[in-house]
Amino acid sequence: MTQLLTRNGTPVSDLTFGTMQFGGTADADASRAMFDAACTAGVNQFDTAVGYTGGASETLLGPMIKAARDDLFVASKVGYVGGAGRKNILEQFDRSRAQLNEDAIDLLYLHRFDPDTALLDTFSTLAELQAKGLIRYIGVSNYAAWQVMKAQGIAQTLGTKIDAVQPMYSLVKRQSEVEIIPVAQDQDITVVPYSPLGGGLLTGKYAAGGSGRLTEDSRYKARYNQPWMHDTARELSALSADLGTDPATLAVAWVKTHPTAPRPIISARSVTQLAPSLAAQSYDMDDALYDQITALSVTPAPATDRLEEA
């Protein structure tokens, strides 16, 4: 897989800290405290987007990274709204740099696939930014495998490549195992998955009768409303109790232990909420435990749907 490096040549950490909550459910003080906790734990990769919390995510993150900029790896995303045409990419990238108060960033993702814009237009713009030294790596988020391969072909004709892909991936959302992760492995693309806690389902709080996005947000409720998913969460909580650890730690560690070494994105509203996920940075999961946890969920069918060959 592509080895993402900081400016000083240090490999990125096993975990990625996502700043989507900065300036939203996490105020400035809580955001700074989580940033410091992540750095102390050895996390050096930080993920944001031009539109997160109306730009506040980047505005808050910018001053935090200044003191150790060359030791940190900063990724942002553009194109969630407005498409992936040249004009929109450049306008949003300029806004992102202004919000971060940075001339250049390490990795720029396209936030989602744009079916209405030619990939040549999109990736020639990214290749130009890379050639100018304004970005170091190119990434795509929420792309299907066929979209990744189509884009990769265009990128290679321009003398560059996709270095990172950001799919949804957790113990209860394993569709990425079917084609996204194999494509990434084949194409030497680093996987930086989001939602390793399954929208909070795998923290165990819902099994204990708690409330949150899965009970209050119709989108998350629909995404994680399968009975087997809730069964998996309960079984993971029971296993974590037997092991004397937190289910969130196991959930995040399970993602990072996949043979392709994904760099899962963790996030939270406070240091207290972040701590169990952050503990996965130093959690070494052996093969037996990995297999045991894997068996708690439904393994997706292979891309050919030939179950007898699985």
Both tokens of 82, joined, read 């407005």
DSSP tally for the chain: helices H, then strands E: 12, 8
More confident residue, 216 or 281: 281
Task: Please report where in the chains the tokens 């102390």 appear, as a residue.
Answer: 40
Structural domain span for residue 263: 16-197+247-283
What pLDDT does residue 60 have?
98
The answer to whether residue 71 is domain-embedded is yes
For residue 108, the cross-strand partners are 76, 138
When divided into structural domains, the chain yields a total of: 1
Quote the pLDDT of residue 225: 85
Residue 251 is assigned to a structural domain of this protein: yes
CATH number at 113 reads 3.20.20.100
Work out the average pLDDT over 300-307.
Answer: 90
297 falls within a domain: no
What does the alpha-carbon distance between residue 304 and residue 310 come to, in Å, rounded to a whole number? 10
**Rounded average pLDDT over 129-142:** 98
pLDDT in tens, 235-256: 999 999 999 999 999 999 999 9
For the segment 50-74, the average pLDDT, to the nearest whole number, is: 98
Q: Count other C-beta atoms under 10 Å from residue 304's C-beta.
A: 9
Within a domain: residue 102? yes
Looking at the domain assignment, is residue 162 inside a domain?
yes
For residue 4, give the 3-state DSSP assignment: coil
Place of tokens 């096993």: 14
User: Has residue 206 been placed in a domain?
Assistant: no
Residue 215 pLDDT more than 90? Answer: no
- pLDDT in the model for residue 275: 98
Domain-located, residue 307: no
Position 22 in a domain? yes
